[in-house]
Structure 1
């Protein structure tokens, strides 16, 4: 369990943090002085506070989930070697598939959405919005989606590393910079695809769930491209109307708990919690 916990807490990509900070500053200057879209510093300040708190809650989540993932892997009928490059290639697609369903369920199940909605509260698409992440992922239990990956025999350390790389890649998708990758747009998730995912217009809601890849969205009918007649509008469909970090973190939980309290019985409450947002 200790090696798994170590990977949970110390997955590190050399140079990523300086690169991320530089691109955030460059994007801010670009928005302010090149395209004139402005930069919401108050919202960005809230994002930074939320991100710092997420670092702590993520460490606690890792501490609790490490033995759970280790136990799932222990009971797998076989164990794939981390030293075989072919296992890494297959593992990449398996983890990406699991991430697609984790992300999709986080939009389609209200209990999971209460945590994930935090990420969709920014009303402008900037790189910094990538790190506005909820603190309650352990409670919302989306991590259950990854247990079958370990039970198939993939080492939890491999899964954690692949997820970490996937999330680092997604950081650079959160921008309004018009970057077109040509034919790779059919395979990879790109800023254009992810802008659609963050839009709250009706044609764009619940689309483009992929992490590094967009192929599963194309396979399962959840892909959408930006339309010229429908400019993207970012943020929640029903905005929380606050930049207070606690309001952003727990606003959807508050809405959910109010509805659960009003439910006439446990069955109705379960339908609310497990139904669509």
Structure 2
């Protein structure tokens, strides 16, 4: 098994220095980007994610190795060109994982953690799920099936996560047009974190924004529509345990309470957030359609 370092652990000092630098810059520009309780909640969520990662990583490795050892079509060597292929293969896997995490409530229950802050700064990047890593890996199982070694896959997943750290900032406006056209940037990702109807469920990219443009989920940041961060209905708590599990509670409550058919109970797990069996709920597409009608775009 290739011996690759755990890049996330090595990056922790970089995370700390970057956040301090961002705090200095935003204060100098009189931008209130940080709020103490919110930032500490994000950091607590990140530490919890790292701790639980020791448990989930065993499960992920077991699943990846099981597919690799028993079902792989090819044996792809560990070399420079295979990492180039893996860069794109991993990134499209991330795109579909991320998109489904917004369109299926079972996955949203864990991903909502990352969107629960009403602030947008580098500490927000650390606001990671405590539950998602135990089942989100299914979107990557096709990679060992093709023949990519599990250690390569885990390394590339870490590289993707590291790339996405720096785009959680308001200190960078727009980058050169060619870069904005191909890569995920702070501007693109600010849109993704917006609760404005026009911004909901857009820009699911990890590293390359090309997937959103290809699959119809791209939305540029609009000059006359300032991003409002957070959720459509914010959870308003700094308690890390509540942040981690409150949506699981609401989802199971909707699923198992009241008089509903088995089909409707199941739909509370697989339909998008906001869906209700009696037709009173509104999902992101509904909110966006209403917004577009109102603004005649």
Match of 1:274 among 270, 273, 295: 270
Match of 2:152 among 151, 158, 183: 158
SS at match of 2:164: helix
RMSD, aligned α-carbons: 1.7
TM-score (norm 1): 0.92
Match of 1:260 among 255, 264, 273: 255
Q: How does 1:76-225 map to 2 (within 5 A)?
A: 76-83=72-79, 85-139=80-134, 141-182=135-176, 183-225=178-220
Report deviation, 1:124. 0.8
Match of 1:227 among 199, 222, 225: 222
User: Are the structure 2 counterparts of residues 71 and 15 from structure 1 closer, same or farther at C-alpha, using a change threshold of 3 Å?
Assistant: closer
Count of residue pairs the alignment pairs up? 270
- Contact 1:32–1:39 (Cα < 8 Å) also in 2: no
Q: Which residue pairs with 1:32 in the alignment? A: 27
In structure 1, distance between residues paired with 2:133 and 2:261: 26
In structure 2, the gaps of 5 or more residues are 274-297
Q: How does 1:65-84 map to 2 (within 5 A)?
A: 65-74=60-69, 75-83=71-79
**Ranges of 4+ aligned residues in structure 1 off by more than 6 Å:** none
TM-score (norm 2): 0.86
In structure 2, distance between residues paired with 1:38 and 1:172: 15
User: Are the structure 2 counterparts of residues 56 and 18 from structure 1 closer, same or farther at C-alpha, using a change threshold of 3 Å?
Assistant: closer
User: Are the structure 2 counterparts of residues 80 and 246 from structure 1 closer, same or farther at C-alpha, using a change threshold of 3 Å?
Assistant: same
- Contact 2:25–2:171 (Cα < 8 Å) also in 1: no
Q: Deviations over 1:36-91 (max 9, x none)?
A: 325200111111222221111111000122111101111112110012x2211111
Report deviation, 1:178. 2.4
